[in-house]
Amino acid sequence: MAAFSSYNQHHPFLIDSVVLHPNSSIIKICEELKNANNTCFSQFSRPEFRQDIVPINLGVRQNRCLDQSTKVSLSNNESNSLMSIKNKNSMESSSVSDKYERSEQVSGQKVTSMVEKKRKPRIMKSSSNSAHSKDMREVKLKKQKNSEYKKQPREEKKLPEEDPKGYIHVRARRGQATDSHSLAERVRREKISERMKALQALVPGCDKVTGKALMLDEIINYVQSLQNQVEFLSMKLASVNPMFYDFGLDLDAFMVVRPDQSLNSLSSQVPTVQQCSPTQPPVIPERNTSLTAANCYSLLDSSSSLLFQQAHMPNTLPQGNGQLLWDVDDQRQKFINETGFSNNLCSFH
């Protein structure tokens, strides 16, 4: 009982509850622990200690229906906690260092404890003797194990889906409502603002305006302008027909070149694509990559697939072409940069 007496100095109510509802097994465990607890203490942190001590009391007080396995787990927890108590008694100064260690060690537990803090008032109401609310609220995790409160596990399940950033945000406004609706709403708003930020980065000139409405307006204008551009370009394409047929032939001719380049490593392939692009528009090499990468397209029309089959044969051909393409003047260099930029832009997902 020495361990308990030492514990009594710090948290008198806990011992009370134990005395009120004596449980022989716990006392036994305590005695065992007293013998065995001279090992390293520093790793046991204070929140753990609190979290672990209280469930025992609860288990004593509230239900004897704990099955054997939970009792074992409780006893483990208790061992940790009691050791930490002893540690506290023996060397008070070390507790400070323990705290620091804790901050490094248990960041994950911190998060859960934040969640618990948030729900503190409800738990206080539900528990009959809420002398130490601080301890009581950390009971919650164990309570869930005992399946006393069906509501809490659900929320606990829901919250980990959010990112840790969400936790902090929710926790920061402590006075606010904590029911699931407002939490969900808050998360939703956060998501929207996040997407808005992403869009802001995407749409030029959107970072200057402030306010959601203006930003939306800017986005709408941009989408419209892009669509108009598509229309304009298709109008142009409609008028410049005959050249395009040659272009198509050109594409096919280029396809012949391409498969050899695909033999190179991917890293080298990317620059060549960008350097090839100035002479023929970037369409052409990229198209060829699509061919090499995926001849699985069943949609290939007969002529191009034929060409593709032919393409594998002449491997000696492309060298000259490649060298031709490699020397680039300044104008083309500019174009390269442009295409590189566009490549960055169209990173999907």
Partner 1 sequence: MPSNHNSIKTRFTYRFARSLKKLNKNRPASQSMKETYRRYHMIRVASYASMASAVGPKRAWSRAVLWKIRNRTLHRTLMKKSRIHVLRTRKVSGNPNDLRKLVPGGEGMDFCRLLNETAHYIKCLRTQVQIMKNIVDHCSN
Q: Interface with partner 1 by CB under 8 A: which residues? A: 188, 191-192, 195-196, 198-199, 202-203, 211-217, 219-224, 226-227, 229-231, 233-245, 247-248, 251, 270, 280-283, 286-287, 289-291, 293-294, 297, 299, 301, 304, 342-343, 345-349
Q: Between 293 and 317, whose beta carbon lies closer to partner 1?
A: 293
Closest contact distance (angstroms) between CB of 335 and partner 1 is 10
Q: How far is the CB of 224 from partner 1 (least distance, A)?
A: 6
Residue 294: strand, helix, or coil? coil
Task: Identify the CA nearest to 39 among candidates 96, 90, 103.
Answer: 90
- In the complex, the smallest distance separating the C-beta of residue 217 from partner 1, rounded to whole angstroms, is 5
The residues, ordered by sequence, that sit 6+ positions from 8 with a Cβ below 8 Å of its Cβ are 14, 15
Q: Which run of H or E residues covers position 198? A: helix 180-202
C-beta of 330: minimal distance to partner 1 in Å?
Answer: 18
Distant-in-sequence, close-in-space partners of 137: CB < 8 Å, separation ≥ 6: 116, 117, 119, 120, 123, 124
How many other C-beta atoms can be found within 10 angstroms of the C-beta atom of residue 33? 19
CB of 65 or CB of 266, closer to partner 1: 266
Rounded alpha-carbon distances, angstroms, from residue 214 to 194, 202, 217, 221: 16, 15, 5, 10
Cβ-based nearer residue to partner 1, 99 or 163 = 163
- Residue 10 amino acid letter: H
Count, residues in the chain: 349
Q: How far is the CB of 252 from partner 1 (least distance, A)?
A: 9
Contacts of 88 (CB under 8 A, 6+ apart): 10, 95
**Which one, 59 or 282, has the nearer CB to partner 1?**
282
Q: Which is nearer to partner 1, 15 or 300 (CB)?
A: 300
Q: Which residues contact 212 (CB under 8 A, 6 or more apart)?
A: 196
Q: How many helices (H) and strands (E) does the chain have?
A: 20, 0
What percent of the chain is helix, strand and coil (3-state, nearest 5)? 75, 0, 25
In angstroms, give the least distance from the CB of 308 to partner 1.
11
CB closer to partner 1, 52 vs 218 = 218
List Cα–Cα distances, 260 to 59, 111, 294, in angstroms.
73, 54, 15
Nearest distance from residue 154's CB to partner 1, in Å?
Answer: 23
Q: With respect to partner 1, which residue has the nearer C-beta, 16 or 338?
A: 338
Q: Quote the least distance from Cβ 258 to partner 1, whole Å.
A: 11
Nearer to partner 1 (CB atom), residue 168 or residue 198? 198
Q: How far is the CB of 107 from partner 1 (least distance, A)?
A: 29
8 in Cβ contact with 82 (< 8 Å): no
Burial of 324: CB neighbours in 10 Å, binned 0-12, 13-18, 19+: exposed
Neighbours of 16 (CB within 10 A): 14
Name which of 14 and 215 has its Cβ closer to partner 1: 215
